[in-house]
Amino acid sequence: MLEPVNPCLPLPAVGRADRLESLTPQPREGGIHMEEQGRSSTGLDESVAGLLCYMFGFITGIIFLIVEKESRFVKFHAMQSTVTFLGVFVILVVFGWIPLLGTLIWIGSLVLWLFLMVNALRGKLYELPIVGKMAAEKANK
């Protein structure tokens, strides 16, 4: 049985990193998981900023590439969002007029968009096969 919590006593710290240097990527199934999340230079939690990089596709990716100065995690997701969804946009413009193919591309991009947003919110650096490696290289500069 759980003991009641005394509201007068301070709660224990929940393991948040105060410094960006303490972030150490740990390999896990489905990508790299950041054990400790810090804050980005925008003042948001890194996982929330990573989610927002994907919110409006390449537009928010470009915004976070310009605004973010410190967090490699946010820079990675901003770069991956920009390259991925700019490519999806071009593919949709070229092939979107074909009824079945355009619909399949749109549905696939919607699934990819949701998948990447959930992984960013969970604190994972999920690298897409081609774009992810390029985004990781650019984020480490």
Question: Does residue 121 carry a pLDDT above 80?
Answer: yes
**Identity of the residue numbered 70:** E
- Model pLDDT for residues 68-97, shown as the tens digit of each residue: 988 999 999 999 999 999 999 999 999 989
pTM over 0.95: no
Question: What's the DSSP call for residue 4?
Answer: P
What was the pLDDT predicted at 40? 85
Q: How far is CA 91 from the centre of its chain?
A: 22
Domain ranges of the chain: 34-139
Question: Once rounded to an integer, what is the mean pLDDT over residues 55-61?
Answer: 94
pLDDT digits (tens, 9 = 90+) for 9-54: 554 444 433 433 444 455 545 555 554 568 888 889 999 999 999 9
